[in-house]
Amino acid sequence: MPATRLPGEGPPGRDEDHEFDPHDRATIPSHAKSAEAGGDLVLLHLERGTYYTLNPTGAWIWRLAGEGRSLGDICSALVARFAVDEDRAWRDLRAILHDLVREDLVVIEAAHQRADGR
């Protein structure tokens, strides 16, 4: 079974199917599992039997999503860690989230739909 490589830093404007808000949260569904492999992170979609690899930047975003952070918090963390401007960080974050959502490896929980109101 071939692997599909998801980008850690994608081109701008790849979120045409999803509008993301900084207050939304990315969550990892129970059918998505991960493991380290040679500096990359391998993601496995248990229901489909497909696997993907993330480079170190993508893996770092995946881990932050797994902590339940808001997209705005993840974007701020990208700015701090990689010394990029906020627009660039937001474009890159949206690009990888678009790919992860499309592959059903991340679910975006809209802020207005959360019971906790955070």
Per-residue pLDDT of the chain (118 residues; tens, 9 = 90+): 334 434 443 333 333 446 799 999 999 999 999 999 887 899 999 999 999 999 888 999 999 999 989 999 999 999 999 999 999 999 999 999 999 999 999 999 998 765 555 5
| Model pLDDT, residue 13 | 36
- DSSP letter for each residue of the chain: ---EEEPSSPPS---TT----TT-EEE--TTEEEEEETTEEEEEETTTTEEEEE-HHHHHHHHHHHTT-BHHHHHHHHHHHH---HHHHHHHHHHHHHHHHHTTS-EEE-GGG-TT--
Domain ranges of the chain: 21-108
| Model pLDDT, residue 38 | 82
Domain 21-108 has what CATH class?
alpha beta
